Amino acid sequence: MRRGTTAQADDDALKSARTTLTTRQTLGLTLILTGVLGATAMAPLSGSVVLLSLQIGFMSLAAWRVFLLWNSRVQPLSDTPQICADPSCSWPRYTVVAALYQETAVLPQLIERLTDIDYPSDRLEGFLALEADDVATIKAALDLPRPDWLQVLIVPPGAPKTKPRALNYALARCSGDLITIYDAEDDPDPLQLREAATRFIHEGDSLACLQAPLRIRCRNKASASPFLDRQFAAEYAALFEVTLPAMSRLALPFPLGGTSNHFRVPVLRALGGWDAWNVTEDADLGFRIWRAGYRLGVIQRPTYEPPPGPLPLWLPQRTRWLKGYLQTLAVHTRYSEGMGWRGWTALAATVGAGVASAAIHAVCAAWMFSLALTSIVAGRLPHFSPLGSIVLVSGVIAAWLLKHRGVRQAGGSYGLGDMLASLAYWCLLSLAFAHAVIRLIFEPHHWDKTPHQAEPEPDIAMIDGADAGRAAA
């Protein structure tokens, strides 16, 4: 039982987020921060060197985003292996896992969507992994009609009480050759499993994981948080429609999404499963797969999700993500085996850049606002550093272009109003970062649960063409 829930943490505590910082890391960070602050206070030139280093770093990030845009050619469907339509085709056994907690409101919709998966039922195995103390969801799952291949799996009490612990419990009991993970609110494309299985068959054993694109949709016309909904959707589009496909083409590792990732079961078991102590187990696992010498890739058939909702729901979720990114950075900077310069570059450009950007957004906004306000009070035009201005403008434009390309590829729109609104949204990321640092210190392994509600059914009369058929189905 212990091996099925905390396997990766038990194998090597230093390679798990169970240990937040080692003594060496704590001393190193303390010395670096003390040295930088002390040198800046005693010698202004040292402060200029620190500022220049930050500017070079963020200019490099802007250049990286432009490079991803250049590389973000959508793979033509003709280059993707054709899914076998012959009923006699031999398909690998597939396990589908949904780890749920307090999800009675959305459970009927999830079971309906999993039932719609287009894959031979005799080759399917599914688990609704439910915590033992979640009596209401267990009762609802047992009472609802389910396909024969979908079972209710009770995860026994234990620590930590996290999604990856529940996933490890299911992994230890699955019989599939391949396994995929879905969240309570997910609506996967019915052919997603067939596409992933086809890729695994054609690309050989070195391909260990495939990530499906996650697309945000809001069917609630009276959303209480349209600003957050649109910005959240643009973030997802930039990541899943542009960044991850480009990194896959460059044969680089990347942080996985928390759902709709598909794995080879033998590889996942050899790696010890998910780190039960990491609250973004997906980001960590992507780089552990790379360290073991395997490849990651992406597929095209998406999974649709609703946005998290208003600020009281968005903030805890984003806090958990940033806390998990900090855990992932702490773990993967403790040892170097299997990483290589490509792995370190990818880690810095994704997880590292995400943390650094969230930390500095509000600081930059406050600096510009105070400088402008001071100049207005003094009756003169604001004077900004030329190099600082170039770095700032380049970074903002690169981020806007990345989102614009991603949203367009996902079939949405991203205009000037969204671009300007993103400046305020980025400041909220700094708020979440501050929360994440505090939570990392006091509650490193606490899982902030995002509540979900069932999505309203689409208005079929308002949908044209092929989408109307899918909505009706």
Beta-sheet pairing, 295-298 with 178-182 = unpaired
Query: Has residue 1 got a pLDDT over 80?
Result: no
Please tell me the predicted confidence (pLDDT) of residue 458.
Answer: 66
Look up residue 293 and give its DSSP letter. T
What are the backbone angles phi and psi of residue 222, rounded to the nearest 5°? -105, 45
| HSE value, Cβ hemisphere, 13 Å, CA-based, for 406 | 30
Predicted TM-score of the model (pTM)? 0.90
Task: Output 414 or 388, whichever has higher pLDDT.
Answer: 414
Closest by Cα among 321, 282, 327, 299 to 182: 282
Per-residue model confidence as pLDDT tens digits over 161-195: 999 999 999 999 999 999 999 999 999 999 999 99
Please tell me the predicted confidence (pLDDT) of residue 7.
Answer: 53
Please tell me the predicted confidence (pLDDT) of residue 53.
Answer: 80
Query: Has residue 315 got a pLDDT over 90?
Result: yes
Collapsed DSSP state (helix, strand, coil) of residue 182: strand
Average pLDDT (382-399) is 83
Closest by Cα among 325, 277, 289 to 8: 277
Which residues lie closer than 8 Å to 417 by C-beta, 6 or more apart?
Answer: none
Query: Has residue 325 got a pLDDT over 70?
Result: yes
Average pLDDT (330-336) is 94
CA distances from 440 to 21, 369, 434, 443, 446 (A): 10, 30, 10, 6, 9
Closest by Cα among 235, 340, 243, 240 to 287: 340
Are 407 and 414 in contact, with CB atoms under 8 Å apart? yes
Which residues lie closer than 8 Å to 440 by C-beta, 6 or more apart?
Answer: 20, 323, 326, 327
**Confidence band (pLDDT; 50, 70, 90) for 6?**
low
| Alpha-carbon 240 to chain mean position | 9
Please tell me the predicted confidence (pLDDT) of residue 469.
Answer: 36
**Confidence band (pLDDT; 50, 70, 90) for 159?**
very high
Closest by Cα among 214, 280, 286, 279 to 254: 286
In the sheet that holds 94-100, the strands lie side by side as: 150-155, 124-131, 94-100, 178-182, 261-264, 207-211, 295-298
Per-residue model confidence as pLDDT tens digits over 265-311: 999 999 999 999 999 999 999 999 999 999 999 999 999 999 999 99
Task: Output 10 or 60, whichever has higher pLDDT.
Answer: 60
